[in-house]
Amino acid sequence: MHKRTLMLATLAAFTFGDHAIARDQIRIVGSSTVYPFATTVAEQFGKSTGFKTPVVESTGSGGGLKLFCSGVGVEHPDITNASRRIKKSEVEKCHKNGVTSVTEIKVGYDGIVMANSKASAVMTITRKQIFLALAKDVPGPDGKLIANPNKTWRDVDANLPNVKIEVLGPPPTSGTRDAFAELALEGGCKKFPAIKAMKKKNKKSYKAVCHSIREDGAYVEAGENDVLIVRKLEANPNAFGVFGYSFLDQNSDKVQGSLIEGKKPTFENIAEGAYPVSRPLYFYVKNAHVGFVPGIKEYLAEFTADKAWGEEGYLTDKGLIPMPEAERNKFKTDAAAFNNLSM
């Protein structure tokens, strides 16, 4: 992958074939975290232009990229949102199915929170403690890996509450799950010197240890619906939920974010890089669809306008952490480059 434009094979070789009549409405799939931002832009786009409001589906980052990379044509999505960068295996799948030219646009930044009901006390926790609570295997008394025996938070650390470990979070198809495993679990996993040393010897085994989440009921896969997680946290004050900062921001009257490494999941801490569990957000555009499905260029112009993703843009009200101006300008240029595409 080369910077922001991926798969730089020639575009024009692929057309819509027998699909002479293109859709008249943009179809967007992907990340549940990026979903509220994409939906807000879609609604604004529908109101302010002559184009139909795009259809936006929350399928998870992995699910969205699977649909996106399945082919070119009106039966396939035009854009997919992702709360992580596209994987090499997904790029290969795109190529295999004729999706040979895709543009990557970074949207901004987001923090991943571990939140609980405001009816309970705020949790203060470290990434090492998160790993010991949620990893499938953890170091035993002799340092050797054993199946995670910790049933309560106090089993993890005597200073934590004597409450059953119950964390509601996204499934493996979610970019939020991937990022949580990489930033929170692995961030704690490598605090153990013996496991950290494993990375140099066997990266595959290291990743399996650091990214595998327990399957004995302590971690509950709650689907791609973050709103449902918030409702479950309201109903169960002892449970925690894992989701993007934007959902915490939108539901701050119901739930509160845990302090991780002593840092609150706030807009300022995420923007400054002080909050340790944060990540960039993206969307990917199928270049072959630009010019066939009406409105794609205009939708991108709306999304990348300062009034939307800028420091005082309307997406900040939804919880988006804007990129610095110079970075926004780079990706805005990539989006505007569609004006130069010859189909």
Residue pLDDT, tens place only, 8-45: 333 333 445 554 456 799 999 999 889 999 999 999 99
Cβ-based neighbours of 163, under 8 Å, separated by 6 or more:
152, 153, 154, 238
Q: Which pLDDT belongs to residue 332? A: 93
Token pair belonging to 24: 């008249």
Q: Which pLDDT belongs to residue 318? A: 87
Q: Which pLDDT belongs to residue 7? A: 41
With a cut of 50, which residues of the chain have pLDDT below it?
Answer: 1-15, 19-20, 339-343
The overall average pLDDT reported for the chain is 89
Residue with tokens 């996106």, as numbered in its chain: 68
pLDDT per position as a tens digit, 178-226 = 889 999 999 999 999 999 999 888 989 999 999 999 999 999 998 777 8
Residue with tokens 């070789």, as numbered in its chain: 13
Q: Which pLDDT belongs to residue 21? A: 57
Q: Which pLDDT belongs to residue 3? A: 40
pTM metric for this prediction? 0.74
- The domains found in the chain, sorted by start residue, are 5-108+281-340 (3.40.190.10), 111-278 (3.40.190.10)
Q: Which pLDDT belongs to residue 11? A: 34
